[in-house]
């Protein structure tokens, strides 16, 4: 009877160990870190292998250029003139509320000194209202 219990405990432990390896091994490869510009520059060597991460900051004013494939702009860590800034190349359409001075979260990778993103999220306050649509004078 003791042998049977020992066998059940060993098999149960082995099953738990295999499930842990499967769950946490796959989870670690799917993690995407969120970094501010100063953290991203400090940890640039950790992400030079093409690992994706999210970069969050403010869009610098007067530094936005439209390109055929998207946008070029600068993300800063704050509003102070000496804030850390990172040049960004965004591929794809910008978010609808994108403009200078707004907070953005970009997902992408380092390509040399630039951050290349393909996903953009814009932070806005709770006072967002959808644009009014002209219904052509129809009354309800």
* Model confidence band, residue 140 (pLDDT cutoffs 50, 70, 90): very low
Q: Which two tokens stand for residue 43?
A: 């940890």
| Per-residue pLDDT at 80 exceeds 90 | no
Question: The pTM is what?
Answer: 0.70
pLDDT at 59: 92
pLDDT at 31: 80
Please say whether the beta carbons of 35 and 53 come within 8 A.
yes
pLDDT at 23: 79
Q: Which of 4-18, 26-40, 76-90, 123-137 has the lowest mean pLDDT?
A: 123-137
User: pLDDT digits over 6-49, tens only?
Assistant: 999 999 999 999 988 887 777 766 788 899 999 999 999 988 88
Range 53-64 average pLDDT: 89
Q: Which residues pair with residue 138 across a beta bridge?
A: none
Tell me which residue has tokens 């591929």: 91
Please say whether the beta carbons of 98 and 59 come within 8 A.
yes
pLDDT at 63: 75
Range 105-129 average pLDDT: 88
Range 48-76 average pLDDT: 90
* Model confidence band, residue 138 (pLDDT cutoffs 50, 70, 90): low
Sequence-distant (≥ 6) Cβ neighbours of residue 93 within 8 angstroms = 70
Sequence-distant (≥ 6) Cβ neighbours of residue 21 within 8 angstroms = none
CA distances from 58 to 17, 88, 101, 107 (A): 44, 12, 6, 14
pLDDT at 3: 82
């Amino acid at each position: 009877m003791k042998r049977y219990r020992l066998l059940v405990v060993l098999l149960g432990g082995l099953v738990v160990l295999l499930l842990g390896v499967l769950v946490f091994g796959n989870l670690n490869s799917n993690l995407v870190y969120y970094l501010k510009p100063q953290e991203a520059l400090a940890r640039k060597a950790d992400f030079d292998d093409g690992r994706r991460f999210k970069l969050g900051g403010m869009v610098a004013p007067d530094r936005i250029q439209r390109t055929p494939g998207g946008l070029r702009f600068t993300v800063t860590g704050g509003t102070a003139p000496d804030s850390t800034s990172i040049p960004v190349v965004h591929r794809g359409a910008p978010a609808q509320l994108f403009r200078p001075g707004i907070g953005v979260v970009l997902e992408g990778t380092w390509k040399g000194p630039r951050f290349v993103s393909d996903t953009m999220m814009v932070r806005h306050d709770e006072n967002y209202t959808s644009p009014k649509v002209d219904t052509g004078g129809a009354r309800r």
